[in-house]
Amino acid sequence: ITLLTVRHCAGTTFLKPVGHHQVDGDYRESWQPQAMSETALKQAQNIAKTITDALGGYGIFGVELFVKGDNVIFSEVSPRPHDTGMVTMISQEMSEFGLHARAILGLPIPAEVAFYGPSASKAIVIEGNTKEYELGNLDKVLEEPGVQIRIFGKPEIIGHRRVGVILATADTVENALAKAERAYSKLEVTIH
């Protein structure tokens, strides 16, 4: 999981845990909330607070943890918005980006960020070597309610690169993941 942890002028705020799937160490899809026991969640929060307190400073930290049952093991921490946390652009009132900006500017952050409901993200990854590519069929990608897309505007592809993300909400995490996958399947990628 990724436990997005915000250190700010009033203390520490934890976001709902984010589950994710990686391929060769790269994020491909994530969902929020990741189901886990109350015991594991408390342990994850204690680990995240200990690590981020030791690092110090304000902002959002992407604390990655392995969870098996009630056992939680620390993996790594990113002292910035985290790629798996892009799901927060649709799942909650303030995204990881907005929370990071507020924290480093010393602006207030609530103890609990309003969560809209089960959500998922799917990375748009392009393979190849080019400075020219197009993403098409966006009207079909966005035809289902509760789907959004963010395109990063990256100017070139060398090997493989994330160039955007598809976001989806639904009544369950499983349905949000399926909706994101359906939207992704409609995307047309043209490499010139």
Mean pLDDT, all residues of the chain: 96
Backbone angles phi, psi at 179, to 5 degrees: -65, -45
Q: State the pairing for strand pair 133-136/188-191.
A: antiparallel
Q: What does DSSP assign to residue 69? A: T
The pLDDT tens digits of the residues spanning 64-77 come to 999 999 999 999 99
Task: Note the pTM of the prediction, 2 decimals.
Answer: 0.94
Q: What is the dihedral of CA 90, 12, 4, 101, to 10 degrees?
A: 60
Which range is least confidently modeled, 49-58, 72-81, 108-117, 153-162?
153-162
Confidence bin at 180 (pLDDT 50/70/90): very high
Confidence check: pLDDT of 46 > 90? yes
pLDDT at 36: 98
Instruction: Give the CA count within 13 Å in the CB-facing half-sphere of 160.
Output: 10
d(CA 57, CA 8): 8
d(CA 50, CA 63): 11
The pLDDT tens digits of the residues spanning 89-122 come to 999 999 999 999 999 999 999 999 999 999 999 9
Tokens encoding 68? 């098996």
